Amino acid sequence: AQSVTQLDSHVSVSEGTPVLLRCNYSSSYSPSLFWYVQHPNKGLQLLLKYTSAATLVKGINGFEAEFKKSETSFHLTKPSAHMSDAAEYFCVVSDRVGGATNKLIFGTGTLLAVQP
């Protein structure tokens, strides 16, 4: 079965410093992996998606993630945090249920706080 583990429930950084949100995955086949962001009282927004085309994936708002098969990791990074990045981030793996169905399996989330 597919699963993802987010290694930190809370991360706090100062504005202008790098962000690292860690995610490990478990998959019996080549996975599709995603990062979604949820701002307070908002819906889920897709940040980026990995589907085996390139191991380094660039997303919106300066975020990127690197797929490392040897480490079964898909960590999210950003060189310089902005106050508006404060939100909850979810690492997600797509699970083929059967036929033409993909359900998303969410990690437990990492709450990112950005200090001024």
Partner 1 sequence: DSGVTQTPKHLITATGQRVTLRCSPRSGDLSVYWYQQSLDQGLQFLIQYYNGEERAKGNILERFSAQQFPDLHSELNLSSLELGDSALYFCASSPIPGGDTQYFGPGTRLTVL
Q: Tell me which residues touch partner 1 (CB under 8 A).
A: 32, 34, 36, 42-46, 49, 51, 90, 94, 96-106, 108-109
Identity of the residue, 44 or 86, whose beta carbon is nearer to partner 1 in the bound complex = 44
Task: Tokens for 115, please give them.
Answer: 């200090």
Sign of CA dihedral 9, 101, 26, 3: positive
Nearest to 35 by CA among 84, 81, 87, 76: 76
Minimum CB separation from partner 1 for residue 15, in Å? 27
115 - beta bridge partners?
A: 14
87-96 and 102-106 beta bridge pairing: antiparallel
Minimum CB separation from partner 1 for residue 85, in Å? 19
Q: Is 91 helix (H, G, I), strand (E, B) or coil?
A: strand
Minimum CB separation from partner 1 for residue 17, in Å? 28
C-alpha 103/C-alpha 46 separation (Å) is 15
Minimum CB separation from partner 1 for residue 77, in Å? 21
Identity of the residue, 13 or 92, whose beta carbon is nearer to partner 1 in the bound complex = 92
Identity of the residue, 5 or 15, whose beta carbon is nearer to partner 1 in the bound complex = 5
Identity of the residue, 47 or 114, whose beta carbon is nearer to partner 1 in the bound complex = 47
